[in-house]
Structure 1
Amino acid sequence: MAGTAAERSFVAACVQMRAGKVATRNVDQAARLAKQAAEAGATYVQTPEMTNLLVRSRDELFAAILPEEADPSLAAFQELARALKVTLHLGSLAIRLEGDRAANRAFVIDPAGDIVARYDKIHMFDVDLPDGESWRESATYRPGEQAVVVQMPWGGLGLTICYDVRFPTLHRALAEHGAEVIASPAAFTKKTGEAHWHVLLRARAVETGAFVVAAAQGGRHEDGRETFGHSLIVDPWGRILAEAGEEPGFILAEIDLDKVADIRQRIPSLENGRRFAVTPLPVEPATLREAAS
């Protein structure tokens, strides 16, 4: 259920980080920037994917992470939300699961310090690139199976993480189930970010008629990777309201959710969408194609 008229506008912040291999340092970095954002007027503060730890080595990762109930980073962030009196959205933390798997898990923490939503990243980035670079998220992380829209005082917040941005059906489903703001925290690589980051986030906003808030990792990290940065806040018309560079910091924008209703009325693509079947046509034999030519 949407909030009252008085609650339909709020200030959102993206905290941009350059996380490394030591969780306590990452927590300190995020907390310092979140505090600055709150002091600047933000009541919803989002951090990037992998706020607590960014490390490529599987052995180093599992030597550092803990189950949710024992994770000191999560406890510290709950206390931070309580102290700042803000909604603190952890883009994701690396959380140990049973066996040899982890979760790439987002947490939404309310101003009382209580966890009001969790989301495990659904889509895993598994790819072998022509330059020899290889990524296998599914070898380490267990994919999520449940999309999440959490009801905030002002309306619905849809949760995604990084690679999820390439799957528009997820975003449409979130919007159809009440999301007026869609979160897209990320640790996008520099190369793919330069090519696709802006266009993907703006497209997801336009397609859903929702605000998109995307806190990012940026710069060269301890493990050698380079992330794109450029945290963004995009309105339902696809306009960029705020953008960061590559350095750690934060950005702010006012979110006026009356704009969501206005845009969705002007372009009612969520209502106009129809289910349809796909009929695969037979492949024409090469001999017939050659004869026709």
Structure 2
Amino acid sequence: MDQIESYRALALQVTCHAVNTLSDPVAVRERMRATIERLHAQIRASISFIGSDVRLVVLPEYFLTGFPLGESIAVWSEKAAIDPDGPEYAALGQIARDQQIFLSGNCYERDPHFPGLYFQVSFVIDPTGQVVLRYRRLNSMFAPTPHDLWERFLEIYGPESVFPVASTAIGRLACIASEEILFPEVARCLVMRGAEVLIHSSSEVSSPELTQKNIAKMARALENLAYLVSANSAGIEGIAIPFASVDGGSKIVDYTGRVLVEAGQGESMAAYAEIDLAALRRYRRRPGMNNLLSRQRFELYASSYASTSFYPPNTLLSGNPERRHFLRMQQETIDRLAQMGVI
């Protein structure tokens, strides 16, 4: 595998065409197909404009479908989730092959081991069209996660599946899903496994002011000495929420926490920048106060994590709940932490 130490990454800011109002399964799949065709054209045109050294293109969170608005978990799984070997991945793989890029995004995906449920999955497809990384979101407010099925998930997939890192021609890639940028442990565990480029598919509020997530993006890059490529939606079409509630601010952050480029609002290819892996690797190997990775003393914290439980695992092993299950579990966790004197 020939290594590419310098290339352009593109956080492609595109509109999400939601499927919530569609009741016909054929119409839902047709909308997904149309979305992928539109993305193929946009990616081809963007690379033609930016240059042939674009090697990584990142798409926003749930770019194929939007997010559930009132649909039950079982209904959304049937309606909007895709299969690991389904036609949608095949079509996305065709984009990666045609453009000779690594293509990353985030979608809802069914799992044959957990019928009636779905995971929110961030993926990376390589230039041969193969999925080389599949990260299942670990922290979610209203969706099933591997942690909710922890014992069974580990039995099936093993611990190495929890924080996957892909060694590729464009560096060691890892994915962080949406709101998980606010959970520093996710990025840290990925970097413990060698991640150099953190890929962040999101659909979030943008603002001229620093948002919580934008503060977190800079912090995750700085504290882990990693590039971060974050793609946001350019609005969501087809739902009652105002279109531009999640629109703008796709960005690329370097390993010092500096924002290299940031898009405004609307569909945009403006968020592209160089990923200089050689410079990153030199920085990580240089002694000094700024080399935060080499100064980490994880033993200091290990016993605190090992002996403490806040939100409990395995809460979905006994059945397929409605979404109110997650609010109930959060309230029970808050009550328990209050009784313990933690909060």
TM > 0.5 between the two? Answer: yes
Contact 1:171–1:208 at 8 Å: present in 2 too? yes
Aligned to 2:276: 256
Contact 2:16 2:235 in 1 (8 A): no
Asked if structure 1 preserves the Cα contact closer than 8 Å seen for 2:55 and 2:170, the reply is: no
Over the aligned positions, Cα root-mean-square deviation in angstroms equals: 2.8
Q: Does 1:276 align with 2:300?
A: yes
Determine whether 1:47 maps to 2:59: yes
Shift of 1:3: 6.8
What runs of 5+ residues in structure 1 fail to find an aligned partner? Answer: 127-135, 281-293
Seen in structure 2, the aligned counterparts of structure 1 residues 81 and 189 have a Cα distance that, compared at 3 Å, is same
Q: SS of the counterpart of 2:249?
A: coil
Partner amino acid for 2:36? V
In 2: Cα distance, 1:64 partner to 1:160 partner: 21
- Residues 102-251 of structure 1 aligned to structure 2 (within 5 Å): 102-124=118-140, 126=141, 136-138=142-144, 146-190=162-206, 195-225=211-241, 226-250=245-269, 251=271
* Aligned residue-pair number: 264
Q: Distance in 1 between matches of 2:198 and 2:229?
A: 6
Aligned to 1:96: 110
Aligned to 2:102: 87
Q: How far 1:121 moved relative to its partner? A: 1.1
- How many angstroms does 1:221 deviate by? 3.1
Q: Structure 1's 153 and 213: CA in aligned 2 closer, same or farther, altered over 3 A?
A: same
Instruction: Give the secondary structure class of the aligned counterpart of 2:246.
Output: strand
Normalized against structure 1, the TM-score is what?
0.80
Please state if 1:78 is matched with 2:93. Answer: yes
**164-173 or 203-212, which deviates more:** 164-173
Q: Does structure 2 retain, via aligned residues, the 8 Å contact 1:26–1:53?
A: no
After superposition, the Cα gap between the structure-2 partners of 1:9 and 1:102, relative to the gap in structure 1 and judged at 3 Å, is same
Q: Given the alignment of the two structures, is residue 9 of structure 1 paired with residue 6 of structure 2, yes or no?
A: yes
Q: What code does the residue aligned with 1:271 have?
A: S
Instruction: In structure 2, give the amino acid aligned to 1:43.
Output: R
| Residue identity matched to 2:232 | A
> What is the Cα deviation at residue 261 of structure 1?
2.6
- Structure 2 stretches lacking a partner, 5+ long: 20-30, 154-160, 309-343
Secondary structure of the residue that 2:128 maps to in structure 1? Answer: coil
Relative to structure 1, the CA distance from residue 3 to residue 241 in structure 2 (aligned partners, 3 Å threshold; closer, same or farther) is farther
Distance 1:82 1:161, change over 3 A: same
Identity %: 24
